[in-house]
Structure 1
């Protein structure tokens, strides 16, 4: 016996895209409604796919944004499911705990909201002839230190059992349901763990898949790529198929643009360079490459992109930005006016200046300067994997990467191996640039 269901989480209704926009154009309306559009697409997918039921693993609302608009919108979506006899099983997380909830509308009877005091077991379609069991528990307060999962105790595994948790999978954390991934993997009476809280889609595959669908719509540059949910086919033998359904109408991108050429000296020059780069920006990467998870619509297209432009390179345009504090603002204004009419539209969230002044070619200085030659020789030692591995052993990982987005601080740099390699390369380039500039003056 198998069931087919939609797994979603972290809707964050009531929140907005942090895109710094004003006005009343169609583009701005698309940005303002993006979160609601993405959630509506989730429910539309459930209806089109004719699922048996829907599971939502916490944070339906964002903080204090459980507004009349958010409540009535969600009520309307659940009523669409109810009209087709599709039940929904909902838990609440740290952004919408039951203890601080204000309900403005009544949800249909087909929506089961998990209790915050005790774990609950629900039967689909009913207890008399169950085809699946769904276990869950909501947050009582914003910080939830109860493990919860220990008391998810199905009577047997003859039908699919699904566990619903809003957790960061941190066994030592005391705020977001402490539990280790290995703890969930050892509970062999649960066939699928429907999780929420982590905002990027990820699936830990195995005999008992553990899945985060991520946010349906990214709201800032730290939530890049397509958002969505999962369509899951599951049976009691442990067989499963997971299909990712992209829903976000807007995708965030950070794009590096090299403006260090001699013919890039003015604001219009930079505009033209950005427009040229736009033609070669690849589509969002498949977050499930190398896994058994498929994407429902590989040719899925977005309505628009919100871009952060990182300007790099050494050239004359650096002086333009350095001599006029309004230059970046003017470039941002022109990009917003010029790119918004594209299809898909492109909205400029910000422009970051990381340019430098023109420098002589390092190759031209090689052999003529003992200090530069010695530095180049030292830098070459770091090009090999063995040398970098020794460096990591001596330096260590100064900043540990943070998995839970709630724990990320703006003054911390999560240091991964990839970022350490990038820092080494950038340090070498920066020192060489400074030496070359000093030799040229």
Structure 2
């Protein structure tokens, strides 16, 4: 062991330079793959390719442990070389803390089922916070260390020259080094580009509940009459939801009005059922309080949903003996998923019209969405407009693209 450590330290200089390069590439790959995973637009474009991107993100994230361990083996020697260089010491601590924080929170998000929703939700918060703070810092630090910035003849902006009132023999005066100028420009650019998004994100995390009024303003649905909330919904018996929804969609968000909305129950049923909006909103509803867990790690707690139990629709239509699966269709025309008859008959599976006493906005899957509290939310189909009973299994949109058929929380 001692000989191995000695050999490592012997090639310290070159190895440390390689370590910086590895850290740089790791951050670049994690940043690019993370942005692709975060942006809902890429979900539809990549399809099953998103699963490959997610796998790459996880593998590179785990690989970030190697430079951390390697650096720790060299830390004593490096720390001595940084004697009197406080800024560089601080930088080392910050970068190591970022890598370790990303690694640990990423492991919890990767193993979300073993960790459970509470740990996953907290890990996602930490992962996001480190990204918002750390990525701009590392970009700034990396760009300002470019080799050409350290070359004196290429890094100085000078003023004053012959023909501008100076004696021909006079030397121009250096007023701002190019390195200082680039640092300032990069810092200002990052502040302008990242600052507003970060402030919006931190505001949503610090809010005591869902900013539902703001989201309802962007509701593109035009349906009348609006459903009148039951007494248990307004004020919500759950006390108001806690957390922030993240908007994911594989298509442009659809919207509906009275002429385009319909809700159908068909397939292997005794009686096909279909409602327009006026008929649908008149159906008898009930209220439930439940938590909402996304497979990507975030959760919204204490939601007060109002709607009709899925099993009540099945009872109204009558299920034929050959029926095996309940296939669920989204009004976006693309997304589908399914539940077994036993799952669909659970008492808390709700076809919801209202959330916390207000109509569900289009951004959150309204006017009608499914809520399956005991499962991750790729089963809770948004813009639900059709329920079909079929005699075979059905593989849902995301299950076709690598998600587990086991969606239980």
TM-score class normalised by the smaller sequence: under 0.3
Greater helix share, structure number: 2
Normalising by structure 1, what TM-score?
0.20
Higher RCO (Cα < 8 Å, 6 or more apart): 2
Normalising by structure 2, what TM-score?
0.21
Greater strand share, structure number: 1
